[in-house]
Amino acid sequence: MRKKVTVVGSGNVGATTALRLAHAELCDVVMTDIVEGIPQGKALDMLQAGPITGSDSRITGTNDYKETANSDVVVVTAGFPRQPGMSRDDLLMKNYEVIKATTEKIIEYSPNTILVMVTNPLDAMCQAALRVSKFPKHRVIGMAGVLDSARFRTFIAEALNVSVENVQGFVLGGHGDEMVPVVSYSSVAGIPLTDLMDAATLEAIVKRTRGGGGEIVKYLKTGSAFYAPSAAVFEMVEAILKDKKKILPCAAYLEGEYGINGLYVGVPCKLGEKGIEKIYEVKLTPNETELLKKSAEAVRELINVIKC
Ligand code: APR
């Protein structure tokens, strides 16, 4: 029997994720949304692409959580984008309410699932889902690091005119302006990045990575990125469903690792069928440690607002 994945929120990120999962024939997909008709219509459209793309995955759309029952993984993309006049805290509270409501529904029908959170502000929404679900921490994971690292790797490959496949690099910390692209662990085909690039170029890439999401919002004006985010979710879900034991940067609940306690922060994790199977504590330079702490403090400020 094929695995089952529910995608909550059938907007740009949700729908693109559903399409990627189904067309790779990785699992059956249930799409949900608060808006009636949207998940049904998009799911039907995607399903009809199956004969062309050669996928027998079933895709269904619903507004009823009953149909999401016994999902192996639930990807949560439901939420609102920031609108003009809305403060960061307004958005935080609005999306917190969405996460609370959707998490309660998800766990009612899939008590053993693994939650992959996408809604922003990511780290705070992970924490909200952890508290509401009362799941063990290895079953609530946030997607941020894979995306931020992909942006970092794209810019490095572009600057050096090499294949993106050669570029290893990861980004730690919260999914915000304070994220930490870790230069000391980044390399191109095993060659340290610092041997290939001067400090100024590297600094410019780090800066562009931090603002990677914002750069796209500026172009789109009314929406945010979804192609790369959905690709990042796909890689995480695939690692879980295929029990790949893949090491990826994910938002994980830290209890002392990196000197951070009781907070979701992006760190290297091993993803397999149980969710997060191991958190790796890599040695950072004093500067990177300092930046990671600063990034965690920014996450803590959000948690203080939603009080969870
Ligand atoms: N239950 C289910 N779906 C909901 C709910 C809810 N309570 N509230 C809102 N939604 C749905 C909306 O109806 C919409 O279809 O969530 C969807 C969000 O889609 P988009 O507005 O297209 O946003 P998207 O670009 O997909 O981003 C979703 O992911 O990357 C993050 O910052 C991004 O937080 C945002 C999320």
Across 95-118, average pLDDT: 98
CA angle 68, 94, 131 (to 5 degrees): 60
Same domain assignment for residues 87 and 179: no
- The answer to whether 181 and 206 have CB atoms below 8 angstroms apart is yes
**Percentage of the chain modeled with pLDDT above 70:** 100
Give me the catalytic one of 20, 138, 151, 175: 175
Across 67-74, average pLDDT: 98
Rounded Cα gap, residues 279 and 20, in angstroms: 27
Same domain assignment for residues 88 and 17: yes
Say whether pLDDT at 99 is over 80: yes
**Given the CA of residue 98, which atom of ligand 1 is nearest to it?**
7
Across 42-55, average pLDDT: 98
Tell me which residue range forms the domain holding 221: 145-306
Same domain assignment for residues 212 and 262: yes
Same domain assignment for residues 125 and 19: yes
Say if strands 73-76 and 4-8 run parallel, antiparallel, or are unpaired.
parallel
Say whether pLDDT at 202 is over 80: yes
Please say if 175 is a catalytic residue. yes
**Given the CA of residue 80, which atom of ligand 1 is nearest to it?**
21
**Given the CA of residue 125, which atom of ligand 1 is nearest to it?**
34
Same domain assignment for residues 76 and 183: no
Same domain assignment for residues 128 and 166: no
Q: What pairs with residue 140 in β-bridges? A: 115
| Predicted pLDDT at 308 | 83
- The pick from 7, 8, 10, 13 for probing ligand 1's pocket by mutation, whose C-beta has the most ligand atoms within 8 angstroms, reads 13
Instruction: Give the model confidence (pLDDT) of 180-194 as tens digits.
Output: 999 989 999 999 999
Question: How far, in Å, is the centroid of ligand 1 from the Cα of 30?
Answer: 15
**Percentage of the chain modeled with pLDDT above 90:** 90
Domain count, the chain: 2
Same domain assignment for residues 98 and 151: no
CA angle 279, 283, 284 (to 5 degrees): 110
Instruction: Give the model confidence (pLDDT) of 11-35 as tens digits.
Output: 999 999 999 999 999 999 999 999 9
Nearest residue (by CA) to ligand 1, atom 15, is 11
Same domain assignment for residues 179 and 251: yes
- 133: pLDDT confidence band, cut at 50, 70 and 90? very high
| Predicted pLDDT at 200 | 96
> Distance from CA of residue 94 to its chain's centroid?
19
- The pick from 17, 19, 35, 117 for probing ligand 1's pocket by mutation, whose C-beta has the most ligand atoms within 8 angstroms, reads 35
Nearest residue (by CA) to ligand 1, atom 10, is 78
| Predicted pLDDT at 26 | 98
| Predicted pLDDT at 85 | 74
